[in-house]
């Protein structure tokens, strides 16, 4: 069922105690070099692998099954928009993938979320923002810029077929605290930031997230994020 929000603690411990292996997949060498420079500034020694085509990505994942994170552009030879992403998620479902893209519209972000990515980083982001995103991703968190997911995008984006669309009855079964958590998650808050905002610890936030996933019948972390973002955007439009 992919990576869930409750597994972040063990990955954070791994991040704090040992080097991690990151693949940078982009057909422009200058982009790969820029991202490598950011990674080198992070705490710890991180191994980077480079891929310029979709075939390179597949070959590297087959020879390096211990890759901790793939940073991928949506457009490169053999990796056309979401076709390549969907194939990677099918063939390597346990490999965390984050998108680094020139596309900054909500439709691209939400479709990427529906395909199970753990982050979406616009190429226009500052070096500081990219560094923050990498720190969160390598610590087992998710990263989606609030300015992107809060933009309205016309018609509501439909849930992926793998995930049920929770009904209003499901939301009514949530506690007040759980609704607060899902509202902040939908605004792009990380688990740690939600904990700070609500004066909780990170473990308690993950317990709330796990309870909500069970109550709403959501199969995995991706479905949870997709629903939270869609729900937050719908609520914002209704209140406008």
24-34 residue pLDDT tens: 999 999 999 99
Taking a C-beta distance cutoff of 8 angstroms, is the pair 67, 25 a contact?
no
Q: What DSSP string describes 64-123?
A: -TT--EEEE-SEETTEETHHHHHHHHHH-TTS-EEEEES--SHHHHHHHHHTT-SEEEET
Q: Give me the pLDDT at residue 239, please.
A: 45
Which of 15-19, 135-139, 213-217 has the weakest average pLDDT? 15-19
Surface-to-core class of residue 47, CB atoms within 10 Å of its CB (0-12 exposed, 13-18 middle, 19+ buried): middle
Q: Give me the pLDDT at residue 163, please.
A: 44
- Residue 158: count other Cβ atoms within 10 Å of its Cβ: 10
Q: What CA–CA distance (Å, rounded) separates 225 from 227? A: 5
Crossing angle of helices 29-40 and 127-138, rounded to 10°? 70
Indicate if the pLDDT at residue 59 is higher than 90.
yes
The C-alpha torsion from 79 through 81 and 85 to 87, rounded to 10°, is: -70
* Nearby residues of 182 by Cβ (< 8 Å), 6 or more positions away: 174, 212, 227, 228, 231
State pLDDT tens for residues 111-158. 888 888 888 999 999 888 999 899 888 877 788 877 776 654 444 444
State pLDDT tens for residues 186-211. 877 778 888 899 999 888 888 888 88
Indicate if the pLDDT at residue 23 is higher than 90.
yes
| pTM over 0.85, yes/no | no
DSSP-assigned beta bridge partners for residue 79? 76
Q: What is the mean pLDDT of residues 41-50?
A: 83
State pLDDT tens for residues 61-101. 999 999 999 999 988 888 877 888 999 988 998 888 999 99
Residue 220 CA, distance from chain mean position: 12
């Amino acid at each position: 069922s992919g990576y869930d929000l409750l597994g972040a603690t063990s990955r954070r411990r791994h991040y704090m105690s040992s080097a991690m292996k990151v693949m940078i997949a982009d057909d422009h060498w200058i982009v790969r070099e820029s991202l490598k420079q950011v990674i080198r500034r992070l705490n710890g020694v991180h191994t980077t692998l480079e891929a310029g085509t979709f075939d390179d990505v597949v070959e590297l994942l087959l020879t390096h099954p211990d890759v901790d994170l793939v940073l991928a552009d949506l457009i490169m030879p053999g990796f056309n928009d979401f076709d390549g992403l969907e194939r990677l998620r099918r063939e390597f479902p346990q490999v965390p993938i984050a998108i680094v893209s020139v596309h900054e519209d909500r439709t691209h972000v939400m479709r990427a979320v529906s395909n199970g990515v753990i982050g979406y980083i616009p190429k226009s982001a500052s070096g500081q923002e990219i560094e923050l995103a990498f720190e969160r991703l390598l610590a087992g968190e998710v990263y989606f810029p609030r300015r992107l997911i809060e933009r309205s995008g016309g018609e509501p984006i439909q849930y992926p077929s793998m995930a049920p669309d929770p009904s209003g009855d499901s939301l009514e079964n949530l506690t007040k605290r759980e609704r607060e958590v899902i509202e902040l998650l939908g605004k792009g808050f990380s688990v740690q930031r939600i904990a700070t905002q609500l004066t909780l610890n990170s473990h308690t936030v993950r317990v709330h997230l796990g309870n909500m996933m069970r109550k709403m019948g959501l199969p995995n972390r991706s479905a949870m994020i997709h629903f939270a973002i869609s729900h937050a955007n719908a609520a914002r439009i209704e209140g406008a």
